[in-house]
Structure formats: C-alpha cells, structure tokens
Structure 1
Amino acid sequence: MTDSASIPQILPQPTWLMDTDYTVIDKNAQAEKFEKDYVISIEYAVQVAKGTCCAFRADKQTCKNCPLENKWAASDGFPITFMGRDGVSYEFFGKLVKKEQNWMLEIRYIDKPFESEGKSMLTYLNEARESEQKRIARELHDGIAQSIYSLMLETRGLKWTPVEEHQQKLQAIDRHFADVLLEIKSLATELRPSILDDVGLIPAINQFVEQTMEMTGFIIHVIVDGDSIDLSSRGNVVIYRSIQEAISNSLKYSGENEASITLDFGQKELRVTIADEGKGFIYDPYHLGFGLLNLRERTHSVGGKMEVETGIEKGTRIILIVPYKEGLT
C-alpha cells in the first residue's frame, strides 16, 4: 500500500480512507474499534455527507426545516447517528474530505446519546407538524388574505369608477372571487380530500392514479384483491394520503417509470403494497426519513404497521397493514 493510499494510525478520530468509488481501502485502529462498538454503514455515511440523505433520512426540501439545524455549528461537516451495540442511537459529527485521488471519512464522538429513540422521533414529528402548520398559515396570510384584501379594494373602488365601466369592473371582481374560491378549495383538499366522502376509497385512488399518469406519464397499476370493505373516514384518509406520499417518493427517487398499488382485503386486515423496481435504498428502521416516518405514524394512528422491503438496486416495496377492528365503520 502506497503512502497516498494509507492513513496515519495516530489520527485521534475514527477515520476511513476510500477510493473514488467510496470503497474502503484503509482505516485506523480507532475506526476498527468504532465498528465493534457501533452498527456503521459507510455507504450511508457517504450519502449523508453528499447531501442525498441526512441523519433522519430526509430529502433536501425537508432539511430546510430540520430540527438539527441549530445544533451543529460547523458548516464543513454533517450530523449523523449510528446505533450502538447496546441498541441505543448515538449522535456524531462527520467530515468527508478529498485526499489526493481518494476520500477520507472522519467521525467525531459526541458524548451524548439520544435520551430515547421514541422521544427523539416524537420531537422530530412535532417540529414537522409545526412546520406544516406554519406553511398553511403562511398560505392563508400571503395568498388568500391578500386576495381578499385586494377584492375589498376593488369593490370600494367602484364608487369612483364611471357608471359605464361598472359592468367590466364587476366581471373582473367576479373572476377574482372565483380564483380565491379555487384557492380555498385547494387548501381544504390538502387538509381533507373530499373525494373520499364523495366516491369512496377505491374510486378516489383510481382518480388519483389517472391524474398522476396524465400529468407525469408515470405508469401506475392498481390491483384490488378480495371484496372491498368500507373503512372509517379516518382509515380512508390514512390509506389515501399514504398512497399519495409513497407514489410521490417513487416518482422522485426510483429512477423508473412504473409502479404498482395493491390493495389486499383479507379477513382481518387490509394490506396495501406500493412497489417499484427502481434504485431502492439502504433501509434502517432506526433512522427513518420524514417520508417513511410520516407513513409509519399515519399507519400507527389506526392501529396498523408499516413494513419496508428494499435494497440498493433491488426496488422498493412499502407495505401498510391496517386491521379492520381499527378501521371498520
């Protein structure tokens, strides 16, 4: 091994040396000890360092509202978590730098484990929900409220408008009212899809699929096994929103142009499988990104559970299992 492909063993932090393909070619004694004490994935660490995922496996848009944002002062590194052999998740600070033709990954210890996995995830979810509430409030203030204020000014302005121009002004105000109404309906649909109440779960899913294929060209197959059973209003929303989110993730990240949605109505439970044959990813149930975390929490809210089957270049299968005793009307 040449000097350019080795690292000094005296480096105080766990350090790995990788080639241009991020394959480990050398590591120091501290790194070897680290691998004995913690469950580490070099590929995951590289993904976090490159910004393709983060400590919570969120996408870059989610990172804008990350609860870790004010926790890390250094701008040339990244926060990351690894699970210890004791089953507890610990926080670290990582750094990935170029060394001639190779890459060097350094992990720095932070002597503070998560107080508990549940509490950490709960804090993350609460902040995510708060961020969503702020987004809705901002849309109400910057969008609808401003439109109504504009309409108010237009209406008041009629008193100074010549009578012969009233008809034209009233038509413009009418169009403006229609736009505001459409904006309100759009926001209301985000909060609660009325189509579920109008036509039911399966037709609503079919309509969503048709609209998605028409707008994106993405092919989605819908398969229904067994006799459809009516869920509660809450159960319908959970399934519908989860399918929307899973298909959105498949569109963005799978690299393929096709996916499937299977609804299997069994005797005791509904199993919903959203699958694609795309790139897949490294699945770590202890470090879920916002999307998967959201899916899991939604399913848990109706007494169900989520399973994920994936791997690099192995496609992705997200399975949502909802028992009827929690979802039946």
Structure 2
Amino acid sequence: MSDSTERISKTLPPPTWIMDADYTIIDRNAQAEKFEKDYVISMEYAVEVAKGTCCAFQTDKKACKNCPLENKWAASDGFPITFMGRDGVSYEFFGKLVKTEHIWKLEIRYIDKPFESEGKSMLTYLNEARESEQKRIARELHDGIAQSIYSLMLETRGLKWTPFEEHQQKLQAIDQHFADVLLEIKSLATELRPSILDDVGLIPAINQFVEQTMEMTGFIIHVIVDGERKRLTSRGNVVIYRSIQEAISNALKYSGENEATIALDFGQKELRVTIADAGKGFIYDPYHLGFGLLNLRERAQSVGGTIEVETGIGKGTRITMNVPYKEGMS
C-alpha cells in the first residue's frame, strides 16, 4: 500500500479499519484485530449505520424511513452503534467514518471514551434524536401543511376574480389540493403514532407485524393468546406493540435461530407478554443493561409495568413484560 492510502500505524489507540471505495477492508491496526476477537463485528453493518441506511435505534424498516437523526450518522462527531461481545452481551460504542480521497477510515471507541471532540453520551444522542424529531415535525408543519393551507386560502379568495365559467375547474383543483393536504396530515400523524393500533386493535396489529416480518425475513414467529381479552390504555397498547417489535428485532439479529414465540396472557389485572427464542442467549446483568433491554424496561415502567429477563449462554432468551390494564397499577 502506498503512503497516499493513509496506511495506519499499528499503535493507534482506537480500533481502526481502512477500507477502499467499495468498503472492502485493506488494512487494520492491532486494536482492530483485538476488537474482532472480543466482539462479533460486521463491517457491512457498521458502514450501514454510519451512512444512515441502517438504524441502531429503530426496530423495523418502516421506522427507519423516518429516522429522527435524518441520516446524519456519518457526521464528523461520530455515531452510536452496538456490537455483541463473545460473551453474548451487547455493548455500546461510538463510531466515526471519515473519507479521504478514495479511502474510508472507520474508528470505533468505547462508550466511556467517546470522541474527544464532542464527548457525547448515548443519552445525549437520544435527547438529540428527540429534539431533531421535534424540529423535523415543526418544519413539516410550517413548510408543508401550513404553506399548503395558505395556498388554499389564496386559491379560494381568488375565485371572486375568476370568470364564472371557470369556477368548476378551479373548485376541482381546490378539492384535489384539500385531499393532498389531508393525506399529508394523516401521514404525519401515522409517524407520531402507529394508527394500526386504533384501526384494528392490539392483537390484529401484532399479527400483521408478525406476517410482515415473516414475509420479509423468513423468520418464523408463533403467536399465542390466552385468557379473556381485556382493553389496555392507549399508551399501554403502544408500549406493548413497540416492545414486541424491538424484542423480535433483537431475536432476529442475535439469537442465531430462525424461530421465536410471542405469548400474550390476559390476566385479571395485567397483560403478561412473553417473547422467547431458543437461541444463543447471553450473560444477563440487570445492573449493566444494553440499550435494547434498557429501552424495554423504561417502556414498561412508563405505564407502571415490569420486565423480567431469563437467559444464559446457550439457554435461549425469554423476555416477559407485565403491563397493567390501568396505568400505574401493577
């Protein structure tokens, strides 16, 4: 390799990989070699997250289409990413992907040692994601819906200056404009809340998610429903639906199996949801949760629920979430 390709020193502290224009690894330092021994690393996955074409936070493809970080993963201040350790536990890191001429350089740093230029934590990224999402919605309301309504006002007022014989044509155009605005509002509302829960209910929504996942991935998912179905709060439905999405996504990525089960047991005071697989499992430490499990726990707690994790190396994984029918009662 010539000097122009920025051959890296074997003494650089962060694990570093050098790739060509097609993201094929052409060099790595000693720390990168050690990193590959300690963690299950997919360079394709790392590049996709860095480029924003794959999301480290979202759990399905539809959510990724509206990523709140707006494809800014490859910014100079880095991006969050998770890798599974050889012990079966997922760990969080910061990455940075930089291009120089025709060469790509990827650096990975541990979560407690973020890039000195910004010193951000994962929580900071999540807060920024929410802030970015709020800004995006405000921008869409202002630049999209508000401008469309203003345009409709002008079109309507302009009718009085339009010859009578052209009124019908103008009214048809205004009617179509109204339909477009309504579609835009519905689209924005769907992003904020999965409307399928309101349209068909929790169980049909879960079944539809399962069917779509199996169709896209070939991953087999069994759904078992026991007990007399009872209504949860609107927020409780969202918590369960999003949690199932995330748990199934984790099973897809990490279990090493091609099958999982979702069981919903309607009890007297709460709904017990269990997502289980017979995969590789991992070492569970309730005091040092990875991002995915931490997110599941916080979701459950937000509606007065609890979460239990049963796993171990080679023992599969069972995640049980108990959600009360009335928030705050467990």
Q: TM-score, normalised on structure 2? A: 0.56
1:166 deviates by 0.4
The answer for the alignment partner of 1:156 in structure 2 is: 157
Deviations 1:294-321 (A, max 9, x none): 544323312333749799xx9x967350
For the Cα contact (< 8 Å) 1:274–1:319, is it kept in 2? yes
In structure 1, runs of 5+ residues without a counterpart are: 1-8, 73-77, 84-88, 97-103
Partner of 2:229, secondary structure, is coil
1:163 deviates by 0.6
Q: For the structure 1 residues 105 and 203, does the alpha-carbon distance in structure 2 shift closer, same or farther, using more than 3 Å as the test? A: closer
1:127 pairs with 2:128 = yes
- 1:281-300 → structure 2 map (5 Å cutoff): 286-288=289-291, 294-300=295-301
CA RMSD of aligned residues (A): 6.0
33, 38, 42: which is aligned to 1:41?
38
1:169 pairs with 2:170 = yes
Partner of 1:227, secondary structure, is coil
1:305 pairs with 2:307 = yes
For the Cα contact (< 8 Å) 1:226–1:266, is it kept in 2? yes
Letter in 1 for 2:324: Y
Letter in 1 for 2:142: H
In structure 2, runs of 5+ residues without a counterpart are: 1-8, 18-23, 59-63, 86-90, 99-104
Residues in 2 aligned to 1:13 and 1:162: alpha-carbon distance in whole angstroms: 75
Residues in 2 aligned to 1:163 and 1:95: alpha-carbon distance in whole angstroms: 62
Residues in 2 aligned to 1:81 and 1:248: alpha-carbon distance in whole angstroms: 14
Deviations 1:177-220 (A, max 9, x none): 1221232233223334566456643344446667x489969786
For the Cα contact (< 8 Å) 1:273–1:317, is it kept in 2? no
Residues in 1 aligned to 2:11 and 2:179: alpha-carbon distance in whole angstroms: 66
For the Cα contact (< 8 Å) 1:220–1:258, is it kept in 2? yes
- When Rg is computed on C-alpha atoms for both structures, the one with the higher figure is 1
1:128 deviates by 1.9
Deviations 1:241-291 (A, max 9, x none): 3345666788999999987643233566533345689999999965536xx
For the Cα contact (< 8 Å) 1:231–1:328, is it kept in 2? no
1:227 deviates by 2.5
- 1:137-156 → structure 2 map (5 Å cutoff): 137-156=138-157
For the Cα contact (< 8 Å) 1:275–1:317, is it kept in 2? yes
Q: Once structures 1 and 2 are overlaid, which stretch shifts more, 130-139 or 225-234? A: 225-234
1:71 pairs with 2:68 = no
Residues in 2 aligned to 1:170 and 1:63: alpha-carbon distance in whole angstroms: 40
Residues in 2 aligned to 1:186 and 1:111: alpha-carbon distance in whole angstroms: 39
1:173 deviates by 0.9
Q: Give the total of aligned pairs.
A: 283
Residues in 2 aligned to 1:192 and 1:92: alpha-carbon distance in whole angstroms: 29
1:71 deviates by 3.4
1:58 deviates by 4.6
Deviations 1:16-65 (A, max 9, x none): 99xxxx9xxx997x899x89xxx9734238577545579x9457967656
- 1:1-329 → structure 2 map (5 Å cutoff): 11=11, 13=13, 41-44=38-41, 50-51=47-48, 57-58=56-57, 69=75, 71=77, 120-193=121-194, 196=197, 200-206=201-207, 212=212, 221-244=222-245, 261-266=262-267, 269-273=270-274, 286-288=289-291, 294-302=295-303, 303-305=305-307, 307=309, 319-324=319-324, 327=327
Q: For the structure 1 residues 69 and 220, does the alpha-carbon distance in structure 2 shift closer, same or farther, using more than 3 Å as the test? A: same
For the Cα contact (< 8 Å) 2:95–2:106, is it kept in 1? no
For the Cα contact (< 8 Å) 2:274–2:320, is it kept in 1? yes
Partner of 1:150, secondary structure, is helix
Q: TM-score, normalised on structure 1? A: 0.56
User: What percentage of aligned pairs have identical amino acids?
Assistant: 64
Letter in 1 for 2:77: K
